[in-house]
C-alpha cells in the first residue's frame, strides 16, 4: 500500500517566508507540530492508502487533467476552525484556477473508485498541526495578520507518496504533470 496525495508546489521564496511565520507561532503556548518548510505545499486531493498496482492507473488519469499556469498568492495565517483548531495554515488566493484543477482531479480519479470530496475545496498551505490548543495561538496569529508571504506561478501538479516516520513524513514524487 502507498499513502499518496496530489499537490501543487509553492516557490522556495514563499516557503522561506512561511518559515518566518512559523518562528512567530513558536512563541505561543499551544503545542504545535510544524511542517518542515521544504515540504509545505497545497494539497489538492488526499488519496489515502492505495494499492501499489493502482498507481499506474492514477498516473494515467492525472496526466489527463488540463490547466494553464496560474498565479497564486500566499496571504494570511489562520486556523481551519477557530473553535476547535486542528491545523494552522496560510490561505492561498488565485482567480479560481486551483479549484478548477481540484475539480479536474476529482473528475479524473472518480472512475478509479476515489470518492469525491464532500467539503468545499479551500486552497491552503499547512504550516503546523495543533496537538493541544491554547489562547496564545490566536495572539501569535494576530501578530501575522497584515503579512503576505509572496506569489508564484503554479505550472503543474505532483502525485506524491508520503511515508510516515517518527521524524516526520518523507515525500517522494511519483508523477509530475506540467502545464
DSSP string, 75-111: EEEEES-TTS--EEEEEEE-SSHHHHHHHHHHHHHGG
Q: Please say if 124 is a catalytic residue.
A: yes
Write down the catalytic residue from 41, 45, 160, 161. Answer: 41
pLDDT of 168 reads 86
Which residue, among 151, 55, 66, 64, has the nearest Cα to 101 in the 3D structure? 66
User: What average pLDDT is seen over the chain?
Assistant: 97
pLDDT of 2 reads 97
Q: Tell me the angle at which helices 12-25 and 136-143 cross, rounded to the nearest 10 degrees.
A: 140
For 2-178, which CATH class? alpha beta
pLDDT of 72 reads 98
User: Percent of the chain, pLDDT > 70?
Assistant: 100
Q: pLDDT category, 167, cuts 50, 70, 90?
A: confident
pLDDT of 49 reads 97
Q: Please say if 86 is a catalytic residue.
A: no
Write down how long the chain is.
179
Write down the catalytic residue from 124, 158, 160, 161. Answer: 124
Q: pLDDT category, 62, cuts 50, 70, 90?
A: very high
How far is 125 from 168, CA to CA, in rounded Å? 17
pLDDT of 176 reads 98
- How does pLDDT run across 116-130, given as a tens digit for each residue? 999 999 999 999 999
Amino acid at each position: 500500500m502507498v499513502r499518496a496525495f496530489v499537490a501543487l508546489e509553492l516557490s522556495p521564496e514563499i516557503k522561506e517566508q512561511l518559515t518566518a511565520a512559523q518562528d512567530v507561532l513558536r512563541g505561543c503556548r499551544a503545542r504545535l507540530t510544524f511542517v518542515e518548510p521544504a515540504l509545505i505545499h497545497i494539497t489538492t486531493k488526499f488519496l489515502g492508502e492505495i494499492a501499489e498496482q493502482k498507481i499506474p492507473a492514477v498516473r494515467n488519469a492525472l496526466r489527463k487533467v488540463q490547466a494553464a499556469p496560474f498565479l497564486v498568492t500566499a496571504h494570511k495565517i489562520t486556523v481551519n476552525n477557530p473553535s476547535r483548531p486542528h491545523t494552522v495554515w496560510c490561505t492561498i488566493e488565485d482567480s479560481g484556477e486551483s479549484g478548477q484543477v481540484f475539480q479536474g482531479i476529482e473528475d479524473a480519479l472518480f472512475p478509479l473508485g476515489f470518492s469525491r470530496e464532500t467539503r468545499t475545496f479551500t486552497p491552503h498551505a499547512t504550516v503546523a498541526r495543533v496537538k493541544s490548543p491554547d489562547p496564545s495561538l490566536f495572539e501569535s496569529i494576530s501578530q501575522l495578520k497584515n503579512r503576505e508571504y509572496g506569489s508564484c506561478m503554479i505550472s503543474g501538479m505532483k502525485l506524491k507518496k508520503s511515508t510516515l516516520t517518527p521524524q516526520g513524513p518523507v515525500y517522494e514524487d511519483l508523477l509530475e504533470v506540467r502545464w
